Amino acid sequence: METGTVMKQSIRVAALSGSLRKGSYHKGLLRAAIDLAKESVPGMQIEYIDISPLPFMNTDLEINGTYPAVVEAFRQKILEADSILFASPEYNYSVSGISKRHIYIICLKMGFHWQAGIRVF
């Protein structure tokens, strides 16, 4: 690296909504976060990932260590991200079933652990 050259650091964030509803407030929160990051956080790229096409997890979907293309594409987006931003409604003192679905895909099927480094605010 040349003297005086500053490397621009980029942070890639995968944004996931725990609601499938078109007019979801949680999707709105993610849109606001995307807009705020563009305006005020240089180098941060937040990408909303639509989880509605993901199937409910079923181990019968795994064939020779791989899952359907839509699941593999989702997993790849998560692996490429430096961070994950969740926006989820609360149901019975927990996150929505939709959120649990994508957390399951991320954690159990990718070797990540829910408690390791993930904070819920």
Query: At a CB cut-off of 8 Å and minimum separation 6, what does 115 contact?
Result: none
- What is the pTM (predicted TM-score) of this model? 0.75
Give the tens place of pLDDT for each residue, 51-105: 888 887 777 887 887 788 888 888 889 889 998 898 888 878 777 777 777 777 7
Q: Beta strands of the chain (E only): which ranges?
A: 11-17, 44-48, 83-87, 90-91, 94-95
Please state the φ and ψ torsions of residue 55, each to the nearest 5 degrees: -80, 160
Stated as kind and residue range, the H or E segment containing 31 is helix 25-40
Please state the φ and ψ torsions of residue 101, each to the nearest 5 degrees: -60, -50
Map out the domains of the chain with their CATH numbers: 11-108 (3.40.50.360)
In this predicted structure, what is the pLDDT of residue 112?
Answer: 56
Q: What is the rounded CA–CA span in Å between residue 50 and residue 48? A: 6
**What is the residue whose two structure tokens read 């994508």?**
102
In this predicted structure, what is the pLDDT of residue 116?
Answer: 46
Give the tens place of pLDDT for each residue, 21-36: 888 899 999 999 999 9
Is the Cα torsion angle 117, 99, 71, 51 positive or negative in sign?
Answer: negative
Is 89 within 8 Å of 96 (Cβ atoms)? yes
Of 42-46, 76-80, 117-121, which gets the smallest average pLDDT?
117-121
